[in-house]
Amino acid sequence: FDGAKETTWPWHTVDDPVMGGASHSAFHVDKARKVGVWNGEVHIVPFLGEPGFCNLQAPGLYEEAKFPDLSGTDGVVVRARQTNASGLHHFNVMLMTRGAKKGSQQGVYNANFRMTANVADHFVPWKSFKCSWRGQPAPWCPELRTQLTEVSAVGIGTFFPGTAGSFAVEMESMAASSVQTLESSLSRPSVDLATFNGHDEHSWRTESDPVMGGQSVSKFEVRDGYGLYSGTCRIVPSLKAPGFTIALTENPILHKKFPDVSTMDGLALGVSLAGGNITAFKVAFCDSRNPYRCQFQSFKANFKVPSTDLTEVFLPWKDFSDKWSPYTGEHTAEQPPAAASLKSITQLQIWTEGLAGDFALKLHYVRARKAEDMT
């Protein structure tokens, strides 16, 4: 969606009203951010009493295009996120080929995947695809790997048969990739800041809002290859609002700085849920040995953890700001870190803030790395 002629296609929505349903979706390209934005809602099909579907494909219904030869690749990588926190997260990738036809019937190769709440590369291997026609198995379709030179349309859709609900997808790219290429892209230059592999130079502890009259509790335990940050964030009686807890590395006055990350593009966190109802957190880092600045003026950014599966969340430096409310932690102004700050990190922090409930977050690693360049 960057406007490049060779990878720009006309995208169209195809929803279940074509079969008497009431689902609907809309698509547009955000040219400033270079993403495709697809919003909609899946409704129950009245005469079936079951959820319908929403699809997005290029080109449109009954149209064909000449896509590049995908031979030698191992699957599709959909770089995207689903931004509606209470919305649908199960989707599928679709491919149509000129060889998967039987008379007027066009077979569709489908494979399901779970889309995360943060931008991520979702890899779907060719072996996961099955061919169907109007939702029914189509055994007459050729094996997909024999059709990779004949792709005539691509798309994504809501999981079918799935559930009713809304969704808000932001897609940066869809690309065919080999496993080797994907692994190479994931091994881009990076700088480890926390790994929990027994070789860390920094220790972790927690602080909670009882320092301001609250009742929240938290702890941080290093387990086998990850740190477990857990506890309960409660309402502060005097404020009648949720308090906070923080998992943070040791006092920056006494310990050495973290490595220089000024040549990197952002922070990558390996995270997964281990329980609780809180799934939204904040990550922060301090660039000073002044405890006041580390407490109230660290560079902070929001992130969400979608599931119990290990997920990498990447946050570019532009998502961070040291201007934020001491009551909610939300940004009051956008002021990302300059190179000088990235050269002098003294403390890492994970916050539970502005939400009441239980949480259990597995923190597998924190590293600074270069951004993806996959298109």
pTM: 0.53
Helix (H, G, I), strand (E, B) or coil at 197: coil
Q: Shortest CA distance to 141 belongs to which of 198, 189, 100?
A: 100
Question: Could you identify the residue written with the tokens 């790395």?
Answer: 369
Q: Pick from 110, 237, 95: which is nearest to 152 by CA?
A: 95
pLDDT tens, position by position, for the chain (375 residues)? 878 888 889 999 999 876 678 999 999 999 888 899 999 999 998 878 889 999 999 999 889 999 999 999 989 999 999 988 788 989 999 999 999 999 999 999 999 988 887 778 888 899 999 999 988 999 999 999 999 999 999 999 998 778 899 999 999 999 998 765 555 555 557 888 998 866 677 899 999 987 667 899 999 999 877 899 999 999 988 888 899 999 999 888 777 779 999 999 999 998 999 999 999 999 999 998 888 888 889 999 999 998 887 788 999 999 999 999 988 889 999 999 999 999 999 999 999 998 999 999 999 889 999 886 433
Q: What are phi and psi of 315, to 5 degrees?
A: -125, 110
Residue 54 has a CB neighbour count (10 Å cut-off) of: 29
In this structure, are strands 101-102 and 105-106 parallel, antiparallel, or unpaired? Answer: antiparallel
Q: Which two tokens stand for residue 159?
A: 């999981």
